[in-house]
Chains A and B, each alone.
Chain A
């Protein structure tokens, strides 16, 4: 199993550009989520999905879109990048259900918006 993979590892954007951060998992996990981590801070939840075709907002959803067309993939789109979106982005996945399941995190994408 590759686990949770994220591409790219690094990205530099100009203000106003758009891009998609890719996230994929091969563990057949229903639950997937995106977090951002600013320097010296904890992670903040952007969007999450409990299964294909279902997405919902987290704490800081503004400026980001997501979709979940397959169980494996959960891309995060920045529609018009702003310097405030400079951050490290982590994707995670887990089983879903009434039990508590560990989340598996990807290695992160370091994004700089100039």
Chain B
């Protein structure tokens, strides 16, 4: 299974942009790049996903490197409610199961 590598933790100031990196050098052609986040004492929630092109939605943007070996989740203006663990996951389009890593714990300072 393709694996992802993320920093253990990151800090941001409120209302500033946050760039959360993810490396996935062994990604295969059928792997989608998914991002989920987990707020304290809650189940994970979907943030965004992409295959090859950059993606935007109301929560975030996803920038995917041209060789697909890395990606960056961008929160345009961090709020205190964005403090969470962010997981970058590769999901195979053929079998759909997801393997979580340890994720990045984002702290947002007021």
A residues neighboring B (CB under 8 Å): 31, 33, 35, 41-45, 48, 50, 58-59, 90, 92, 94, 96, 98-108
Contacts and interface: CB of A to CB of B under 8 A. Distances in A.
A102 B93 contact: no
B34 to A, nearest CB: 7
Contacts of A104: 46
Majority-rule SS of B interface residues? loop
Nearest to B1: A59
Nearest to A47: B97
Given A42-B103, A100-B49, A102-B49, A90 B96 contact: no
Contact of A41 (B51, B99, B102): B102
Contacts of A98: 93-94
A105 B44 contact: yes
Interface of B: 32, 34, 36, 42-46, 49, 51, 85, 87, 91, 93-103
A71 to B, nearest CB: 15
List 7 A-B pairs, minimum CB-CB distance, nearest first.
A105-B43, A100-B32, A102-B46, A42-B100, A43-B100, A42-B102, A90-B43
Given A42-B103, A43-B100, A106 B43 contact: yes
Contacts, number: 56
Contact of A33 (B36, B87, B97): B97
B65 to A, nearest CB: 18
Which residue, A90, A94, A101, has most C-beta atoms of chain B within 10 A?
A101
B97 A107 contact: no
Nearest to B101: A42
20 contacts: A31-B96, A42-B87, A42-B100, A42-B102, A42-B103, A43-B100, A50-B96, A90-B43, A98-B93, A98-B94, A99-B93, A100-B32, A100-B34, A100-B93, A101-B96, A103-B44, A105-B43, A107-B42, A108-B42, A108-B43
B44 to A, nearest CB: 5
